[in-house]
Amino acid sequence: MQAILIAIFAALVLRQFVIAAYKIPSSSMEDTLLVGDFLLVNKFIYGAKSPEWIGIPLTQGKKWFIPTGFEVPKSFQFRLPAIADPKPYDIIVFKYPLNPQLDYIKRCVATGGQTVELHNHNVLVNGEPSPVPPMLKYENSNLSSNQNTFTSWTIDPGHYFVMGDNRDNSSDSREWGFVPSENIVGKPLIIYLSLDEQHSNSAIFDKVRWKRLGMVVR
C-alpha cells in the first residue's frame, strides 16, 4: 500500500510540475493540431505553478451536495523558476483569461512591448511579417469587411498575443485580448495519440490517425 501511495504522489507531482496530457477539443489550431489529438505538454519550461485548487478531479467549479475540494490560499501558491519564456511562433497552453478553469492552446504571435498589425491575412510584428506556420489554414476565402479593416495592437508588458492557426475559426487575442504571463501553463511536445472522432461508431483501431502518433508539435 505504501508503494502505491508513493507512486500516486509521484505521478501527481509530475503532472503538476513537469509534464501533463491534454486533448485538443476544437478546430482552432487546424491543420497543425486536429480535434482528437492528445498531447504531452512540458509544464516545467515556462515555470510550473503549484495547484490553485485541490480536490476530486473534474469537479472544480461544479455544484455538488458535498465539498469536492478547496481553493489554495494565494499565500501558499508559488511558481518554479522558468527555463525560458514563450516567444513568437511557440505554441503554448494557457489558462483562458476570461475563465481560468479552461485550458486553451494557441500560437504565440507577439510578446510584451511588441506591436501586432493585422490587415487581411497579413500579420506584422514590429513591422516585419510574422513567420507563417506550414499548416496555417484560412476557411473563409471571401474576406468580410471587418477582416479587411487594418487593426493594430501594442502588447502590454508581461502579456502575450496569441492566435489559432485556423485563422478564420479561432477565438483568440483578436477577440478577447492578451494572455498574462501568470496564465501560461506549458509548451506541447508531441502527439502521443490521435483519434478521428467523426468515426464514432468505428472500432478504436479504425479511429486512430496512425501517421500522427509521435509527431513533434511545431
Cβ atoms 200, 144 nearer than 8 A: no
Q: What are phi and psi of 124, to 5 degrees?
A: -115, 140
Name the residue type at position 188. Answer: P
Helix (H) / strand (E) element for 35: namely none
Return the DSSP state at 33: S
Q: Residues with catalytic annotation?
A: 28, 106
What nine digits make up the cell of 113? 512591448
Cβ atoms 46, 187 nearer than 8 A: yes
Give 181's Cβ-side CA count (13 Å radius): 16
Assign residue 132 a region (left: φ > 0; alpha: ψ between -120 and 50; beta: otherwise).
Answer: beta
CB burial class (10 A; 0-12, 13-18, 19+) of residue 188?
buried
Cβ atoms 66, 43 nearer than 8 A: no
